[in-house]
Amino acid sequence: MPHDVELVNVTKRYGSGAVAVKGISLRIPAATYCCLLGPSGCGKTSTLRMIAGHESVSSGSVLLAGREVTDLPPAKRGTAMMFQSYALFPHLDCLDNVAFSLKMRGVPKAERRARALHFLKLVDLERYASRLPAQLSGGQQQRVALARALITEPRVLLLDEPLSALDPFLRGRMREELKRLQRELGISFVHVTHSQEEAMALSDLVVVMEGGEIVQAASPRDVFERPATAFVARFIGGHNVLPAPAGDGTVAVRADRCRLRPPDAETYGPHLPGTVSAVEYQGPVVRVALATAAGEAVAMLPDDVFHAAPVAPGDAAVLAWSEDDMHALAPSPSDAAAATLTDPLAAA
Amino acid sequence: MAGSGTAARLLPYLQVAPLALILGVFLVVPILTLVVVSFFDYDSVRIIPDFVWTNYAEVLLSAVTWRTYAKTVWFAALVWAITLFIGFWVAYFLAFHVRSRTVQTALFLLCTIPFWTSNIIRMISWVPFLGRNGLLNQALLGLGAIDRPLEFLLFSDFAVVLAFVHLYTLFMVVPIFNTMMRIDRRLVEAAVDAGANAWQVLTNVIIPLSKPGIAIGSIFVVVLVMGDFITVRLMSGGQSASVGLMIYNQISLLQYPAAAANAVVLLAIVLLMVGAILRVVDIRREL
């Protein structure tokens, strides 16, 4: 079975000379929920738009289901896009919004309305068929947009920051619904987000991007347990990025695997002394921040562990972890860039 | 306490008073005067305060007036159709095909340059161009395309419509351009994503969403053409009539009550036309 999406050495250069995407290659297996994750300006939206065909590819190829689509118009690719803030047609009611693509294909009115109603039912909105988008809540508008995209029966659904306009409660509900739909329809979703929480919750495949490049593409568990670079470790959170005790490079240690020892205790294994700078009670865990020689480090302590030996800001403490929880990091492309920037002689 | 309560109640009235006063003095009073005078009697030298229906009878029962009204509506319809066609495409080009903001502003200002001179001058400037011995006829004769001057170019309905289109197309361009600039570009992308071709994007997205601008431009053009007298007089060389011209002639003959009755009828017709446009299109979004 061919991959639903395959990017081969895809580059996006804009007229001004700026390079948004730098020769990335990626394979998304069939029926995969894939999240493109990264900070703004990392090239994730350009990548999505190139898959959709709304942005031309400067060099490289885009394949969908094994078929070269690099130069095909959006509607001929077997993709459908759900736009950020939905882009519903304000002059059409929900039913006609959903039926739009069928109308473009010349499907007779009665037939396209029946099909559109079926898709409105799929997102549980058939009651609102005759309402205009302006008369719907944000969550309802989004479901209409989803139905409008799905009616084209795409092989791949592309979602551009679909949850960013919703309040946190709705975001959680829509997240479940997106995942359910993806599973039921058995198609691939490619979802652009800057929220690592969203990416963790939804993805089968997380693609972390930085500066127009893919720094890691793996399952959420792999990304969390073995972040490839310091950038990934920091971006997905929950990690301490520390200088390697052995000397060269940096290591990542999950904050929830770190423990605190009193300064006078005998410590085996890797450790880092510091001073408690903040204590935050978060219910099941207590977050203790330490100021150390290597910058701030965090220990997420189960509440019972914390309360057995509580610390307060200003106390001296030693951050300790086990060798097994330590994970070496490759240098980030941005770290390399920073190094050349700070040392112009090395670059010359 | 009671005093401050009264003041609080009076405050809103005080706030609307200036506008109400201006509208009252400059709009309501003149129109009421017009309506009152339209019922007066008159002879060749004076106006006689009275209440007679003869002025309206003359307007409504004369074949000449009917023909003049028909001609005016015909002018309005023709000019509307042409300015709409030109105005829509100019606005469409400016809004959707010119990418750079600077170029967009520059081109837009270019459209307004003719408005730096008065209507009359812009009309008169057609005369040496279109006249019997004008530039166009001379050029065509010189090229051998025609063997005698084209007579229909000046002092004809053609000239009237040409001048109207020249004068009023911008009134169509501006509101349509304005509406088009507010259309979310992602809607066009969403339509393309759904498989719409360029023509389908135009008919299914851009035209429906430009309707308020089209309606506002239409109101401008229709109202201006319906009330015009000078363009028709100058460009038709007195060979064509319009309601405005008819009223103007009645005023010249000091037949004020007849002119007032005509004006009231014209006002009613224009209001009906505007009402019809507003019925078709909801322009509130633009205001």
CA distances from B35 to B49, B58, B182, B259 (A): 12, 16, 42, 11
Q: Above pLDDT 70, what percent of chain B?
A: 98
Task: Locate A315 and state its tokens.
Answer: 């106390």
Question: Who's near A192: CB < 8 A, 6+ residues apart?
Answer: A35, A36, A44, A45, A47, A48, A159, A160, A161
Instruction: Give, as one character, the DSSP assignment of residue A75.
Output: G
Asked whether the predicted pLDDT for residue B1 surpasses 60, the reply is no
A173–chain B Cβ distance below 8 A for any pair: no
- Read off the pLDDT of residues B199-212 as tens digits, 9 standing for 90 and up: 999 999 999 999 99
Question: Who's near B177: CB < 8 A, 6+ residues apart?
Answer: B90, B91, B94, B95, B108, B213
Over residues B62-80, mean pLDDT: 93
- Read off the pLDDT of residues A180-223 as tens digits, 9 standing for 90 and up: 999 999 999 999 999 999 999 999 999 999 999 999 999 999 99
The pLDDT value given to residue B287: 57
| Residue ranges per structural domain of chain B | 23-105+152-286
A148–chain B Cβ distance below 8 A for any pair: yes
Q: Within the 169-208 window of chain B, which residues sit less than 8 Å (CB to CB) from chain A?
A: 184, 186-187, 189-197, 200, 204-205, 208
Q: State the Rg of chain B over Cα.
A: 24
Q: Above pLDDT 90, what percent of chain A?
A: 62
B283–chain A Cβ distance below 8 A for any pair: no
CB contact under 8 A, B209 and A152: no
Over residues A265-288, mean pLDDT: 88
- Under 8 Å between Cβ of A29 and A2: no
CB contact under 8 A, B208 and A91: yes
CB contact under 8 A, A74 and B192: yes
Output the average pLDDT for chain B: 90
The secondary element (H helix, E strand) that includes residue A61 is strand A59-64
b/e string for B91-110 if b means 16 or more Cβ within 10 A? Answer: bbebbbeeeeeeebeeebee
Q: Which pLDDT band, with edges at 50, 70 and 90, does A262 fall under?
A: confident
Within chain A, all domains assigned CATH 3.40.50.300 are found at 5-225
Considering CB atoms only, which of B184, B187, B194 is closest to A104?
A: B194
CA distance A91 to chain B (A): 7
CB contact under 8 A, A54 and B192: yes
Over residues A136-158, mean pLDDT: 92
Strands (E) located in chain B:
41-42, 47-48
Over residues A138-142, mean pLDDT: 89
CA distance A104 to chain B (A): 5
Q: Is A153 left (phi over 0), alpha (psi -120 to 50) or beta?
A: left
Over residues A221-237, mean pLDDT: 91
Question: Who's near A61: CB < 8 A, 6+ residues apart?
Answer: A6, A7, A8, A9, A10, A68, A70
CA distances from B81 to A3, B61, B164, B223 (A): 54, 30, 12, 14
Considering CB atoms only, which of A87, A100, A152 is closest to B184?
A: A87
- Read off the pLDDT of residues A233-246 as tens digits, 9 standing for 90 and up: 999 988 998 888 77
Asked whether the predicted pLDDT for residue B246 surpasses 80, the reply is yes
Nearest chain A residue (CA) to B212: A91
Output the average pLDDT for chain A: 88
Q: Which pLDDT band, with edges at 50, 70 and 90, does A347 fall under?
A: very low
Within chain A, all domains assigned CATH 2.40.50.140 are found at 240-329
CB contact under 8 A, B194 and A90: no
Arch. (CATH architecture) of A5-225: 3-Layer(aba) Sandwich (3.40)
Q: Which fold has domain A240-329?
A: OB fold (Dihydrolipoamide Acetyltransferase, E2P) (2.40.50)
Asked whether the predicted pLDDT for residue A346 surpasses 90, the reply is no
- Under 8 Å between Cβ of A274 and A315: no
Q: Which residues on A lie below 8 Å from B187 (Cβ)?
A: 87, 89-90
CA distance A88 to chain B (A): 7
Over residues A29-39, mean pLDDT: 94
Asked whether the predicted pLDDT for residue A337 surpasses 70, the reply is no
- Under 8 Å between Cβ of B210 and B183: yes
State chain B's maximal CA–CA distance in angstroms. 91
Q: Which pLDDT band, with edges at 50, 70 and 90, does A332 fall under?
A: low
A54–chain B Cβ distance below 8 A for any pair: yes
> Is B23-105+152-286 a domain of CATH 1.20.210.10?
no
Substitution target in B192, B193, B201 with the highest count of A β-carbons within 10 Å is: B193
CA distance A12 to chain B (A): 19
The pLDDT value given to residue A268: 75
Asked whether the predicted pLDDT for residue A339 surpasses 80, the reply is no
Considering CB atoms only, which of A52, A83, A101 is closest to B195?
A: A101
Closest to A96 (Cα-Cα) out of A174, A151, A173, A59: A151
- For β-strands A59-64 and A213-218, DSSP reports them as unpaired
Q: Which pLDDT band, with edges at 50, 70 and 90, does A336 fall under?
A: very low
Task: Locate A27 and state its tokens.
Answer: 């394979």
Q: Is A328 left (phi over 0), alpha (psi -120 to 50) or beta?
A: beta
Over residues B113-125, mean pLDDT: 84
Q: Which pLDDT band, with edges at 50, 70 and 90, does B3 fall under?
A: low
Over residues A88-110, mean pLDDT: 94
pTM of the entire structure?
A: 0.81
Closest to B148 (Cα-Cα) out of B157, B162, B159, B137: B137
Considering CB atoms only, which of B189, B194, B205 is closest to A101?
A: B194
Q: Which residues on A lie below 8 Å from B194 (Cβ)?
A: 75, 80, 100-101, 104, 148, 152
The pLDDT value given to residue A341: 39
A242–chain B Cβ distance below 8 A for any pair: no
- Under 8 Å between Cβ of B237 and B19: no
AA letter at A123: V
Closest to B140 (Cα-Cα) out of B153, B159, B127: B153
Choice between B41 and A332, residue whose per-residue pLDDT is larger = B41
A319: exposed, middle or buried (Cβ count in 10 Å: 0-12, 13-18, 19+): buried
d(CA B93, CA B86): 11
CB contact under 8 A, A100 and B194: yes
